[in-house]
A and B are shown apart, each in its own frame.
Chain A
Amino acid sequence: MSAAGTTITISDPYRLARGPNLARGHGGGGPATKRVIVGYGFWLFLLSDIVIFACLFATYTVLANATAGGPRARDIFDLNHVAIETACLLASSFFCGLATIAVARRNQILIQAALIATGLLGLAFILLEASEFAALYARGDGPTRSAFLTGFFTLVGCHGVHVTAGLLWLGTMMAQFFAKGFRPDIGRRFLCFSMFWHFLDIVWVAIFSLVYLVGTRL
């Protein structure tokens, strides 16, 4: 699969500007490497997931004032609680970043430690979110109370389901590193996992801003 008589590599940035691009996976040079293909495919998956969240954001915004006599956003949000949640999730992403470095250094102990920290902080986030939901339920302000609460529970809950799925994936990932070591395919899967975990941060930042910060001002 050598490039058409040339040896141009992806790391040649100037070639991009000059004429037909013959770098591997960029047109002329034949199929891209597996790491590029897997990473690229996963990016596309994340983009499609972002479209799902976009629908939920749009729906929430449409329904935000449809409180049907029930509580409004500012009546139910506790910013301190949400701030701790946010801190947990962002810190867990920091440890996920450390795990990426550990994978690059092939340090099994550091990987397991960093992933455990990632997972525990993610779990703390989920438990905090669950306690917020449980408190709302207990007051009778569950998702069936009004269209606003329907939109709120679905948007935030969908993110929570993603984090929970991410935790299951994280456990599988730790087991794979432990049992199989640093195989290239496991490295590619970890690349996808870390992208997924950071993506959940981005979505959360949008939820934090649009739902909680804007909500308490409404």
Chain B
Amino acid sequence: MLGKLTWDAIPFDQPIPLISGAVVILAALGVLVWVIAKGWLPYLWKEWITSVDHKHIGIMYVLLGLLMLVRGFIDAIMMRAQQALAFHAQGYLPPEHYDQVFSAHGTIMVLFAAMPLVIGIMNFVVPLQLGVRDVAFPTLNSVSFWLTATGALLVNMSLIVGEFARTGWLPYPPLSELRYSPGVGVDYYLWAVQISGVGTLLTGINFVTTILKMRAPGMTYFRMPMFCWTALASCLLILAAFPVLTATLAMLTLDRYLGFHFFTNEAGGNAMMFMNLIWAWGHPEVYILVLPAFGIYSEVISTFSGKPLFGYRSMVAATLFICIVSFCVWLHHFFTMGAGGDVNAVFGIATSIIAVGTGVKMYNWLFTMYGGRIRFTTPMLWSLGFMTTFITGGMTGVLLAVPPADFLLHNSMFLVAHFHHVIVGGVVFAVLAGITYWWPKAFGYRLEEFWGKAAFWFALAGFYVTFVPLYVVGILGMTRRLQHYDVAEWRPWLMISAAGILVLIAGAICQMVQLSVSFLRRNELRDTTGDPWDGRSLEWATASPPPVFNFAVLPQVQDAEAFWDVKRRAREMHGSGSEPHYEALEMPRNSPTGFVCAFFATIIGFALVWHIWWLMIVGLVGAYATFVVFAWRDVPEYVIPAEEVARLDRANRIARQEAPYGASAI
């Protein structure tokens, strides 16, 4: 009846997952009860859960990403603590639990924290920067979000019901095959990643279509803001790389569920094929994350230097160069496979060459700042912190790209230090910069600066104290994923690293304080003009927060810096011109399709993990029924009358005319 699911699946004998799971469940129930008691459920359902508005979906993505960032960070704290304690000892985490912690940490951080954060910011910003009213497929966008949330839910469910994979964040066979991992951990991984991967793929399709086919009149390719270019490159990578992930995980699933022989040791299976396939997705994946991050830095640095982005076209070229070359480097993840000197040389050189694109970007950011009037706001500090951190992190990457060096450093803590160096310094800093930068646009008030800056300095210092020692232990020969060790020279460095995580915790607390303080002081931090930073692109041309239709009249773009150009002309004409002619607008109706899809996807995923076949069939029938009901709808859109559009837009125009341009900026 319930497949493999029995009471043994609940870890009654292990206090850590049991207590943390209970706390999470209680917290979730508490929030639910609070929401119901306050009578907010109808509002949440109408405005958020069923919303197809890209702004609301973007905010929900970011919220999901932040929650998962905290979850992944707790895993990180546990690992650093374990390695600090486990010298000639077992520490406090038994091996089977420690293995789950590092697997969950990687999976959650890359797929359920970084991806939702980056995609969330793309969701919120891209249509506004393009000067349009929504993405190409609004309902599909909601489906994407809810499928990602399903994946996150399944991963977290494994904390209490059953177990998570013990194979690392990429389940390498033969370890991940049924014979060596008979539990449900790998199955949780497979279905969680598979379901959220479908969501991500749909996002890729949605945004490539949006960026290529839906832009404000006059916005030619070379007038698109840099963030849109990087979002385009990232989504093109999603489009080409995520199907590879889907196919690869499907093959491993077939091996585990139906006894196929893709990656098994027997009957001719080929485990190294898995490594090749998974990294053909995995390497582009890091650029999927970091290219939009580069876009965020470009926007922030240009705005707070008060200058157009230096070398715009070379920046576009560098972005697309990275986009293509990122598919030609995957083998550097396993130089030790034994592909031979020639093959390793080709991939080593390609890996070194890809750094050239990033180098171009670095110089462009430097020259953007050169001669500018720089405002050291919180987003700008994150960007500067990124530039210094990413240069050193990138150089350790170039070092690893040299095959003979890689043979020594492969799978060592040096590698762990390297990719945290670039991903934390590149993606996490960018996300925090982006959240601070676009927060006033999303919520109508700026974030408080003091706590934001404190969070930055703690994070930067904590980052170096945590990860530089890991380079050292890597060179001293420590391999990654060690549950305990008995080499005395490693101990002091791992203690320093554990101290570093305390500094990072302080940074995380400052960040939370910043959000709370800003919320409490939101009236003094209010952004009435919609343009708090003296911005240069179109998202600052509308109110904060923007009306549901973003722009009452689609802007006419005449320059690469569309809004800066508008402001310049307005200044020359001493005013922002006459009121435009308002027309009635058609907007997509909200739809529960995404939420219902995710509900059935959760059922299907859970049923497959536990081999509950009847439940899987129920889920599949439900999903098909959802598809038919959605296809059967008659009125997908509603009309906002012209008077309503005019009323909403006039308030914003008055606020803008009262505030002289630039004066509203800090």
Residues of A in contact with B (beta carbons under 8 Å apart): 1-4, 20-22, 25, 27-32, 36-37, 40-41, 44-45, 47-49, 51-52, 55-56, 59, 62-63, 66-68, 143-148, 150-151, 153-154, 168, 172, 176, 180, 185, 189
- A185-B217 in contact (CB<8A): no
- A55-B243 in contact (CB<8A): yes
- A25-B246 in contact (CB<8A): no
**CB contact between A146 and one of B137, B215, B267 (< 8 Å): that residue:** B267
Question: Does B132 touch A at the CB level, under 8 Å?
Answer: yes
- A144-B209 in contact (CB<8A): no
Residues of B in contact with A (beta carbons under 8 Å apart): 132, 136-137, 201, 204-206, 208-209, 212-221, 239-240, 242-244, 246-248, 251, 254, 258-262, 264, 266-270, 273, 277, 554, 556, 624, 627-628, 631-632, 634, 636
**Given the complex, which residues of A lie within 8 Å of B262, measured CB to CB?**
59, 63, 147, 150-151, 154
- With A41-B136, A55-B243, A56-B247 known as contacts, the answer to whether A28 contacts B218 (CB < 8 A) is yes
- B556-A4 in contact (CB<8A): yes
Q: What distance in Å separates the Cβ of A199 from its nearest Cβ neighbour in chain B?
A: 14
**Given the complex, which residues of A lie within 8 Å of B269, measured CB to CB?**
63, 66, 147, 150
Q: DSSP majority for the A interface?
A: helix
- A189-B631 in contact (CB<8A): yes
- A41-B201 in contact (CB<8A): no
**Given the complex, which residues of A lie within 8 Å of B206, measured CB to CB?**
41
25 A–B contact pairs at CB < 8 A? A28-B217, A31-B214, A37-B209, A40-B209, A41-B137, A48-B205, A48-B243, A49-B243, A51-B240, A52-B244, A52-B246, A52-B247, A55-B277, A56-B247, A63-B270, A66-B270, A67-B268, A144-B261, A146-B267, A146-B268, A147-B268, A150-B262, A150-B267, A151-B262, A154-B260
- Select the residue from B243, B254, B258, B259 with max chain A CB neighbours within 10 A: B243
**Given the complex, which residues of A lie within 8 Å of B212, measured CB to CB?**
40
**Given the complex, which residues of A lie within 8 Å of B239, measured CB to CB?**
44, 47-48, 51
- With A40-B213, A51-B240, A144-B261 known as contacts, the answer to whether A27 contacts B205 (CB < 8 A) is no
Q: What distance in Å separates the Cβ of B202 from its nearest Cβ neighbour in chain A?
A: 8
Q: What distance in Å separates the Cβ of B432 from its nearest Cβ neighbour in chain A?
A: 31
Q: What distance in Å separates the Cβ of B136 from its nearest Cβ neighbour in chain A?
A: 5
Q: Give the nearest-CB partner of B280 in chain A.
A: A55
The distance in angstroms between the C-alpha atoms of A195 and B214, with both chains bound, is 22
- B215-A68 in contact (CB<8A): no
Q: Give the nearest-CB partner of A171 in chain B.
A: B628
- B217-A48 in contact (CB<8A): no
**Given the complex, which residues of B lie within 8 Å of A68, measured CB to CB?**
261, 266-268
The distance in angstroms between the C-alpha atoms of A45 and B243, with both chains bound, is 10
**Given the complex, which residues of B lie within 8 Å of A48, measured CB to CB?**
201, 204-205, 239-240, 242-243
- With A37-B214, A154-B254 known as contacts, the answer to whether A52 contacts B554 (CB < 8 A) is no
**CB contact between B132 and one of A21, A31, A63 (< 8 Å): that residue:** A31
**CB contact between A28 and one of B220, B273, B632 (< 8 Å): that residue:** B220
Q: Give the nearest-CB partner of A25 in chain B.
A: B213
- A1-B137 in contact (CB<8A): no
**Given the complex, which residues of A lie within 8 Å of B214, measured CB to CB?**
25, 31-32, 37
The distance in angstroms between the C-alpha atoms of A22 and B219, with both chains bound, is 9
**Given the complex, which residues of A lie within 8 Å of B244, measured CB to CB?**
51-52, 55
- A168-B624 in contact (CB<8A): yes
**Given the complex, which residues of B lie within 8 Å of A1, measured CB to CB?**
217, 554
Q: What distance in Å separates the Cβ of A1 from its nearest Cβ neighbour in chain B?
A: 6
**CB contact between A44 and one of B208, B219, B251, B267 (< 8 Å): that residue:** B208
The distance in angstroms between the C-alpha atoms of A63 and B259, with both chains bound, is 16
The distance in angstroms between the C-alpha atoms of A145 and B264, with both chains bound, is 12
**Given the complex, which residues of B lie within 8 Å of A180, measured CB to CB?**
634
Q: Give the nearest-CB partner of B247 in chain A.
A: A55
The distance in angstroms between the C-alpha atoms of A185 and B205, with both chains bound, is 19
The distance in angstroms between the C-alpha atoms of A66 and B258, with both chains bound, is 19
Q: What distance in Å separates the Cβ of B594 from its nearest Cβ neighbour in chain A?
A: 16
**Given the complex, which residues of A lie within 8 Å of B266, measured CB to CB?**
68
- A45-B205 in contact (CB<8A): yes
The distance in angstroms between the C-alpha atoms of A145 and B266, with both chains bound, is 10
**Given the complex, which residues of A lie within 8 Å of B554, measured CB to CB?**
1, 30
The distance in angstroms between the C-alpha atoms of A145 and B268, with both chains bound, is 10
**Given the complex, which residues of B lie within 8 Å of A47, measured CB to CB?**
239
Q: What distance in Å separates the Cβ of A127 from its nearest Cβ neighbour in chain B?
A: 21
- B247-A3 in contact (CB<8A): no
The distance in angstroms between the C-alpha atoms of A2 and B556, with both chains bound, is 10
Known: A4-B217, A151-B262, A154-B251. 8 other contacts (CB 8 A): A2-B217, A31-B215, A63-B268, A63-B273, A66-B267, A144-B259, A144-B260, A147-B267
Q: What distance in Å separates the Cβ of A60 from its nearest Cβ neighbour in chain B?
A: 10
Q: What distance in Å separates the Cβ of A10 from its nearest Cβ neighbour in chain B?
A: 12
Q: What distance in Å separates the Cβ of A205 from its nearest Cβ neighbour in chain B?
A: 20
The distance in angstroms between the C-alpha atoms of A185 and B588, with both chains bound, is 13
- B218-A4 in contact (CB<8A): yes
- A31-B273 in contact (CB<8A): no
**CB contact between A32 and one of B205, B213, B270 (< 8 Å): that residue:** B213
Q: What distance in Å separates the Cβ of A34 from its nearest Cβ neighbour in chain B?
A: 9
The distance in angstroms between the C-alpha atoms of A192 and B154, with both chains bound, is 32
- With A27-B221, A172-B628 known as contacts, the answer to whether A36 contacts B208 (CB < 8 A) is no
**CB contact between B220 and one of A20, A44, A63, A143 (< 8 Å): that residue:** A20
The distance in angstroms between the C-alpha atoms of A3 and B248, with both chains bound, is 45
**Given the complex, which residues of A lie within 8 Å of B634, measured CB to CB?**
180
The distance in angstroms between the C-alpha atoms of A25 and B132, with both chains bound, is 12
Q: Which are the 4 A-B pairs with shortest beta-carbon distances? A: A66-B268, A147-B268, A55-B247, A51-B243
Q: What distance in Å separates the Cβ of A211 from its nearest Cβ neighbour in chain B?
A: 16
- B213-A52 in contact (CB<8A): no
Q: Give the nearest-CB partner of B262 in chain A.
A: A150
- B217-A29 in contact (CB<8A): yes
Q: Give the nearest-CB partner of B210 in chain A.
A: A37
The distance in angstroms between the C-alpha atoms of A186 and B620, with both chains bound, is 24
- B260-A44 in contact (CB<8A): no
- A44-B273 in contact (CB<8A): no
